[in-house]
Amino acid sequence: MTAPLIDPYHRAISYLRVSVTDRCDFRCVYCMSEAMTFLPKRELLTLEELDRLCTKFVEMGVEKLRITGGEPLVRRGIMTFFEGMGRHLESGALKELTLTTNGSQLRKHAQALHDCGVRRVNVSLDTLDADKFKAVTRWGRLAQVLDGIEAAREAGLRVKINTVALKGFNEEELFTLTEWCARDGHDLTFIEVMPMGDLGNEDRVDQYWSLNDLRARLEERYSLVDTPERSGGPARYVRVEETGQRIGFITPLSHNFCESCNRVRLTCTGELYMCLGQEDMVDLRAPLRASQDDAALESAIRAAIAKKPKGHDFDYSRQEVRGQMSRHMSHTGG
């Protein structure tokens, strides 16, 4: 039995988020620039290497694995990787295998994901207006994503909609989105926009819509009851009395939740980021490739966890962006 992963602040690390590609079929304005340059394929971990690394983390106590990107479902052969991870669900070592997706490829993969043991999927959707969807994703088509969500439902996957709260963009859709989720039985989580990646003329402070304000707007129409429910991530939840639905809030800016952080993030090149909002990382690809024996890999993972920082430094409270990260969200995996 390997010793569990405990960081210097006594937080047990049981959740690994894995970005399996930096590529995407969309170019969301808060995530990527239109002319992104992507990594050469040879830089990426192979599917076999991803399997070996994730398996090591599971052996070291990771119980929840979230596959993300870029868009995870555009990585060629990715279902082989999901099938491989399914064996850890069957053995009971892994409690949850899930993914965050833009939904564009769900029609193609939803059933196979369910067959691999995936039961929940997060789909990012910021608007239900086709023109606005095109504007925010630049390359996406709303109808394809809605069809993907429907396919997920048909396959028996529970869907959680992730919506980035964007000032002047989806403010007036707050109730439409909430009611649509209530009607179709999806959970809904709002996320504050974070200063990830330099996107040229996108101004984060202008984009930022505090979830304190968003919640106050919801309370003009609904009674929200705080619940202690957690889903292993940073969201705090409320129940909407009128509809019975659950709404989550991910508030890295207005309410820092780092004290309960249980996760680390692996990039598609094998860098392990101990915090989304700090630059420090540890390369796991070199020890992975240096030997078929896992000893060096295991000590590199332990050394990384021993450096996990207390928290991020994101802050817009002085009407300027503090804690800006140079890397894009698609690099570390959102």
The residues binding ligand SF4 (CB under 6 A) are: 24, 26-28, 31-32, 69-71, 102, 124, 329-330
Q: Which parts of 177-236 interact with ligand SAM (CB under 6 A)?
A: 191, 193-194, 196
| Euclidean distance between CA atoms 33 and 138, whole angstroms | 10
68 binds ligand SAM (CB under 6 A): yes
57-65, 95-103, 150-158, 272-280 -> range binding ligand SAM (CB under 6 A): 95-103
127 binds ligand SAM (CB under 6 A): no
Q: Which does 162 bind (CB under 5 to 8 A by kind): ligand SF4, ligand SAM, none?
A: ligand SAM
CB of 231 to ligand SAM, least distance (A): 15
CB-based contacts of 5, cutoff 8 Å, min separation 6: 12, 13, 14, 60, 61, 62, 301, 302, 305
Please provide the DSSP assignment of 138-174 as one string. SS--HHHHHHHHHHHHHTT-EEEEEEEEBTTTTGGGH
Residue 116 gets the label, from left (phi > 0), alpha (psi -120 to 50) or beta, of alpha
65 binds ligand SAM (CB under 6 A): no
H helix and E strand count, the chain: 11, 12
Q: Which parts of 288-307 interact with ligand SAM (CB under 6 A)?
A: none
| Euclidean distance between CA atoms 87 and 94, whole angstroms | 9
330 binds ligand SAM (CB under 6 A): yes
100 binds ligand SAM (CB under 6 A): yes
Tokens for 93, please give them.
């070592």
Rule CB under 6 A: which residues touch ligand SAM? Answer: 24, 30-31, 68-69, 71, 100-102, 124, 162, 164, 191, 193-194, 196, 329-330, 334
